[in-house]
Amino acid sequence: MKPQKSNKPAHRPVQRDESGELAQVLRFTPAAWAKLYWFCHHGETEIGGFGITSPSDPLLVIDFVTVKQKTTCVSVIFDDVAVADFFEDQVDQGRKPGEFSRIWCHTHPGNSPFPSSTDEETFARVFGHCDWAVMFILACGGKTYARLRFNIGPRGEMLVPVLVDYSVAFEGSNHEAWKAEYDANVKPDPTDRMCWGLVESELDPESEVELLEQLEEPEWELDLEYESEVIP
Amino acid sequence: MRIMFINNNGSGFADYIDVQEGLTVIDLFERQMPDCKPEDYLIRVNRQPVTRDTQLAEGDRVSITPTKIEGAGC
C-alpha cells in the first residue's frame, strides 16, 4: 500500500488555558509563515492577505495569499475587484470559502500588533456575518495578535496563541515567486508622505529618530489575558 | 433555473442553487443575505459588475464579495 501525502500533522500541539481547558491555537506551516514574514519585511508598508487553511483543520494556515492592495506605512486596503477575483479563483481551485476567507492577515509597523479602530471596523463589517473568523496581525517587530470570533450560536471571541507548526510537511521558500506576487499586488501609495523611504530627504535625523520611537513605544497598553508571540 | 452562487456569509457558500426565472440581482441579494447592505458588497455575474435590476439567466455565476477590506496600524 502506497503511503498517502497528507497535511495532517503527526500530532497536534495541545495547549491548555489556566483552567485546564483545551485552547484553540492558530498554527502556520513553516512555508506559510515564511512567506508572510517575507512579505512583512520586503517593503516599507503594511501588507495584507488571506490565510489558506487546511480542509481538515480550519486553524492550520497552509498558505498566505495576497490580492492587489494599496498600501502605506500605516495602512492597507484591498482592491474590491481583486478580492472578488480571489474568491472566484479559489472556488475554481476547488476550495470552499471556509478554507480561504476566514483568516484575515495583515501587518503593522513597529512593535504593536494590537488592532486599530479601522481593523476593528473591518473585522466587524466584513467578517461579522461569517460563522467564524480570525483577525491576525503581525507587527514588524515580530509580535503577533490573533483573535477568533464566533458569530453563531452563543457567539463570542477569544485571543488565540499563534505558533509555527514544524510537525506538518512543508515546502521550501520561493523568494522569486514571492517577489513576483509582491510586485504584482502590493502597490505603495505614492502620495504617502509618512513612508520613511519617501520622506527621508525631508526629515532631519532627530525627527526621524523621534518618529521611530513613537511608533515603537506606544503610550498606551492593553490589558489582555495573554499575548502570543511566535518564536520561529 | 440553476445558477452558481458564491458568497462568504455564514459558513460561506459556493455551489449551485435553484432560483425562479426572471429573478434580479437585488432579489437574489435580499433572499440570500437578508441582514446585509448591498453597498457593502461587490456583486458580479460571470465576473462582471452588474446593476441591481439585472435579470439572472440559467447557468449564471453570481459572486457577492465584501468590499473595503482595510487595516491600519495603531
The reply to whether A152 falls in a domain is: yes
Q: Give the pLDDT score at A70.
A: 97
Q: Are A106 and B71 in contact (CB under 8 A)?
A: yes
CA distance A12 to A27: 10
Residue A96 in contact with partner chain B when CB distance is under 8 A: yes
Q: How far is CA A213 from the centre of its chain?
A: 24
Strand partners, A54: A57
Place of cell 457567539: A155
The reply to whether A27 falls in a domain is: yes
Structural domains in chain B (count): 1
Q: What is the residue-level pLDDT of chain A in tens, covering all 232 positions? A: 444 444 444 444 455 556 655 568 999 999 999 999 999 999 999 999 999 999 999 999 999 999 999 999 999 999 999 999 999 999 999 999 999 999 999 999 889 999 999 999 999 999 999 999 999 999 999 999 999 999 888 889 999 999 999 998 888 999 999 999 999 999 999 887 666 554 444 445 555 555 555 555 444 444 344 444 444 4
Specify the pairing of strand B61-66 against strand B41-45.
antiparallel
Structural domains in chain A (count): 1
Q: Which of A75, A84, A110 sits opposite B70 (nearest CB)?
A: A75
C-alpha grid cell, residue A83: 478580492
The reply to whether B73 falls in a domain is: no
Q: Give the pLDDT score at A21.
A: 55
Q: In chain B, which residues have their Cβ closer than 8 Å to the Cβ of A84?
A: 42, 44, 47, 63, 65
Place of cell 441591481: B52
Q: Closest by alpha carbon to B25, among B3, A144, A71, B35?
A: B3
Strand partners, B39: none
The reply to whether A109 falls in a domain is: yes
Q: Are B5 and B17 in contact (CB under 8 A)?
A: yes
CA distance A19 to B56: 54
Indicate which CATH number applies to the domain containing A173: 3.40.140.10
Q: Are A146 and B27 in contact (CB under 8 A)?
A: no
Q: Which domain holds residue B10?
A: 2-66
The reply to whether A128 falls in a domain is: yes
- Mean pLDDT over residues B14-26, rounded? 94
The reply to whether B71 falls in a domain is: no
CA distance A156 to A153: 9
Q: Give the pLDDT score at B10.
A: 84
Residue A224 in contact with partner chain B when CB distance is under 8 A: no
Q: Give the pLDDT score at A71.
A: 96
Closest Cα in chain A, distance from residue B58 (Å):
18
C-alpha grid cell, residue A65: 495569499
DSSP letter, residue A202: G
Residue A142 in contact with partner chain B when CB distance is under 8 A: no
C-alpha grid cell, residue B5: 452562487
The reply to whether B18 falls in a domain is: yes
CA distance B10 to A128: 9
- Mean pLDDT over residues B51-69, rounded? 95
Place of cell 455565476: B61
Work out the number of other CB atoms within 10 angstroms of the CB of residue B32: 17
Q: Give the pLDDT score at A6.
A: 45
CA distance A41 to A196: 14
Indicate which CATH number applies to the domain containing B13: 3.10.20.30
Nearest CA in chain B to A112: B74
Strand partners, B55: B24
State whether residue B62 is helix, strand or coil: strand
Q: Which domain holds residue A137?
A: 23-192
Q: Are A85 and B47 in contact (CB under 8 A)?
A: yes
The reply to whether A2 falls in a domain is: no
Question: For chain B, what is the mean pLDDT?
Answer: 93
